[in-house]
A and B are shown apart, each in its own frame.
Chain A
Amino acid sequence: MSETKDIRIITRPTKEQIRQAQIDFAPRCTAAGRVNDKETQKMVQYILNFARKHSLFLLAYGTGCGAIEIPATLTSRYDAERLGIRGAATPRQADVLMITGYLSTKTLKRVIRVYEQMQDPKYVVAFGSCTINGGMYFDSYNTIKALDRYIPVDVYIAGCMPRPEAVLKGFAKLQELIQNGNAGNGECYRKNLDWYRANQQKVIKNWDFPDEYNW
């Protein structure tokens, strides 16, 4: 019986070989010293933006009459969930704050509190003519006229009121902005907080906000 056995001789690698392998196969984002590499940053940012734009959690909070379009957008006819848009119960779980329609000064106070509770990155979509320039409430004593004086806005959707197609178009625009890295104004809000606070205090008369937020 002549049976040849394939015997592989295993030799221990030398110390130099081990060092070389450690350098070659080290993961790029650990302490190997390549975290701040520009290309890596770009790639990580691309993946993050890609993930963010396909999972937009919309805070279930409606301010004006436009809130009636949101159920139509989210449910089976227009089915916004195929684009990754779905509802979130609390501000701390949400990505998108949608201002649906006119905003009275009383509601503005709550909206600011909600916006400041949201985690970064956070996006604001303003819905309807009322948020752009007052709409049909342009001479009302009780509603604000331009929303971006009080909180930063990413996308405006014009119309009175916009149909679900327009809402989806607005969200497509928001996704485009997110992919390009141009959306999310939480940083800008923190930086220009004095200007925003001055505008807010001009409208909200019984100001009882805490002095500092720990964002």
Chain B
Amino acid sequence: MTTQDIIRALNETFELKAEVLHGNQIRVSMHKKQVAPVLLYLKNQWGFIHLDHVSCVDWIEENVFELVYIVYRPQDQLTVLVKTKIHREHPEMENMEGFWPHMRTYQREIREMFGIEFPGFEAPREFILEGWEEIPPMRRDFDTRGYVKRTYTTRPGREDAWSVREYITRRTGEKLPDFARKYSRD
């Protein structure tokens, strides 16, 4: 029942290469069609009965979204990070609302904030935002500063606020990578 057992079991059952992140964290990456079987296997066979979190990362340089499902076993505080990458153009992920009840909340949030569709998922579309008409706001190609300038009026007096990222590069002599400049907020 140690981390090595789980890594070996994942390798034998699904031919996945898992690795130990820290002492009691295991990370494993896979194709998106394997996520549902792996999560069910971990839940039913290995006692990972708790879904900690579902998070989404926008890797705009690689043109993918990365979804991370974090499951947890309370007996020995063991955590498994199940990672998958999905294409950014028509992002779709399997609907897994039946696995854990609170999966609905995470899926609703990811659908609203990143625009990832879950076919067959029939929760109300509006969750945190109200009357949102732009592209999903947590995507990195959403122009936050431009939207703020268009929508809100600010009091004068913040013009001397410096861009933190540029200030650090200037002070340390670091060269700002192109992608950082392209998608930085200034």
B130 touches A133 (CB 8 A): no
With A105-B130, A139-B144, A139-B145 known as contacts, the answer to whether A146 contacts B151 (CB < 8 A) is no
A134 to B147, CA, bound (A): 15
The A interface, classified by DSSP as helix, strand, loop or mixed, is loop
- Judge whether A206 is part of the interface by a CB distance below 8 angstroms: yes
Closest Cβ of chain B to A99, distance in Å, is 15
- Chain A, residues 88-122, CB within 8 Å of chain B (1/0): the string is 00000000000000000110010000000000000
- Judge whether A203 is part of the interface by a CB distance below 8 angstroms: yes
Closest Cβ of chain A to B82, distance in Å, is 30
A146 to B157, CA, bound (A): 12
- Judge whether B129 is part of the interface by a CB distance below 8 angstroms: yes
A139 to B154, CA, bound (A): 10
A134 to B145, CA, bound (A): 13
The B interface, classified by DSSP as helix, strand, loop or mixed, is loop
- Closest chain A residue, CB of each to CB of B154: A145
With A133-B158, A139-B185 known as contacts, the answer to whether A205 contacts B152 (CB < 8 A) is no
A205 touches B148 (CB 8 A): no
Q: Which residues of A contact B13 (CB under 8 A)?
A: none
B155 touches A141 (CB 8 A): no
B154 touches A133 (CB 8 A): yes
The tally of residues in B whose CB lies under 8 Å from a CB in A reads: 21
- Judge whether A132 is part of the interface by a CB distance below 8 angstroms: yes
With A106-B129, A139-B144, A206-B130 known as contacts, the answer to whether A133 contacts B151 (CB < 8 A) is no
From the candidates B130, B132, B154, name the one contacting A109 in the complex (CB within 8 A): B130
B154 touches A205 (CB 8 A): no
B158 touches A138 (CB 8 A): yes
- Closest chain A residue, CB of each to CB of B143: A141
B153 touches A146 (CB 8 A): yes
Closest Cβ of chain A to B152, distance in Å, is 5
- Chain A, residues 182-215, CB within 8 Å of chain B (1/0): the string is 0000000000000000010011111000000000
- Judge whether B91 is part of the interface by a CB distance below 8 angstroms: no
Q: Which residues of B contact A141 (CB under 8 A)?
A: 137, 142, 144, 147-148, 151
- Judge whether A161 is part of the interface by a CB distance below 8 angstroms: no
With A139-B144, A139-B145, A139-B185 known as contacts, the answer to whether A205 contacts B155 (CB < 8 A) is no
- Judge whether A149 is part of the interface by a CB distance below 8 angstroms: yes
With A133-B157, A141-B137, A141-B147 known as contacts, the answer to whether A203 contacts B152 (CB < 8 A) is yes
With A133-B154, A145-B155 known as contacts, the answer to whether A205 contacts B137 (CB < 8 A) is no
- Judge whether B178 is part of the interface by a CB distance below 8 angstroms: no
- Chain A, residues 117-154, CB within 8 Å of chain B (1/0): the string is 00000000000000011100011111011100100000
Q: Which of A's residues lie within 8 Å of B, judged by CB?
A: 105-106, 109, 132-134, 138-142, 144-146, 149, 199, 202-206
Contact sample, A vs B, 6 pairs, CB 8 Å cutoff: A140-B148, A144-B152, A203-B152, A205-B131, A205-B133, A206-B131
Given contact pairs A141-B148, A199-B153, a sample of 19 additional A-B residue pairs in the complex whose CB atoms are under 8 Å apart: A105-B130, A106-B128, A106-B129, A109-B130, A133-B157, A134-B154, A134-B158, A138-B158, A139-B145, A141-B147, A142-B129, A144-B152, A146-B152, A149-B153, A203-B152, A204-B131, A205-B130, A205-B133, A206-B131
Q: Which of B's residues lie within 8 Å of A, judged by CB?
A: 128-133, 137, 142, 144-145, 147-148, 151-155, 157-158, 161, 185
Top 3 nearest A-B pairs (CB, nearest first) are: A205-B131, A206-B131, A145-B154
